[in-house]
Amino acid sequence: MVHEHRRSAASARLSRRTLVAALGAVAAGAALGVPRAAAARAVSAASTGLDDPAKKEIAMKLVSSAENSSLDWKAQYKYIEDIGDGRGYTAGIIGFCSGTGDMLDVVRLYADREPGNVLAGYLPALRKVDGSDSHSGLDPDFPADWREAARDTVFRRCQDDERDRVYFDPAVARGRTDGLRALGQFCYYDAIVMHGDGDDSTSFRNIRGRALRTAKPPAQGGDETAYLDAFLDARVWAMKQEEAHSDTTRVDTEQRVFLRKGNLDLRTPLDWKVYGDSYHIH
């Protein structure tokens, strides 16, 4: 059961690969007056990042514990419901929404890869409801057809690819540029999943900007733990601006727990709580 969701309609469309991000971090550090060697050391510290397959699996389980009260994130390809947050239908592995454009992108990609699929006929309706909570043209069959599509490996791959393009890859790239290790990259990813990366005050980029007013990331010569504390403070502020996000336990009893233990590399085993439920990864 999804507890809360987010999304700015102006989602990020940036996608960078690890090598490009690593090189960019050095350049960004130099541009900010940070010695090239210091920026390079920050990147080196973050070299085993969240895009490592084992770390990425951990990230997906952490998000699923908060979004779906389950570590079985792969069971969420078929998930769909309107949770009453003003974003229409919420569905899939990270909560693509009919009202925020990312669900439209997933279905469009699916139609490109498998023309005539069970969801392709909903594209006109998804275009019309983008930006609203309307179900016009979607009811009554869209939820059942989404679940049917989720049995198709092509559709599941479309969800994976859009997750990476819009949310995961940008979060990891920005984290590497800031010299953050796996935990910091995850903090960025979880924030983008919930808040999007648009221009509104509670978007990821503005959460990061708020943190930068009080602390510097490692690529700018700052302390990683102090910076992540500032980022999580800013994240909590953003969550409290909207009633649907006001329960901050995914930060308080998950991400801060790892930070206080100094587990900047997200080493296992991991123990945390979300909404009072306990979770463990060996």
Q: Are 212 and 226 in contact (CB under 8 A)?
A: no
Dist CA 53 CA 71 (whole Å): 16
- The backbone torsions φ and ψ at residue 150, rounded to the nearest 5 degrees and listed phi first, read -65, -10
- How many residues does the structure list for the chain? 282
Spatial CB neighbours of 139, under 8 Å, sequence gap ≥ 6: none
- The backbone torsions φ and ψ at residue 182, rounded to the nearest 5 degrees and listed phi first, read -60, -40
Q: Are 249 and 239 in contact (CB under 8 A)?
A: no
Number of Cβ within 10 Å of residue 120's Cβ equals: 15
DSSP letter (8 states) at residue 28: H
How many CA atoms, within 13 angstroms, populate the side-chain half-sphere of residue 117?
Answer: 26
Helix (H, G, I), strand (E, B) or coil at 131: coil
Helix (H, G, I), strand (E, B) or coil at 91: strand
Q: Are 118 and 111 in contact (CB under 8 A)?
A: no
Amino acid at 254: E
Give the residue numbers marked as catalytic: 67, 85
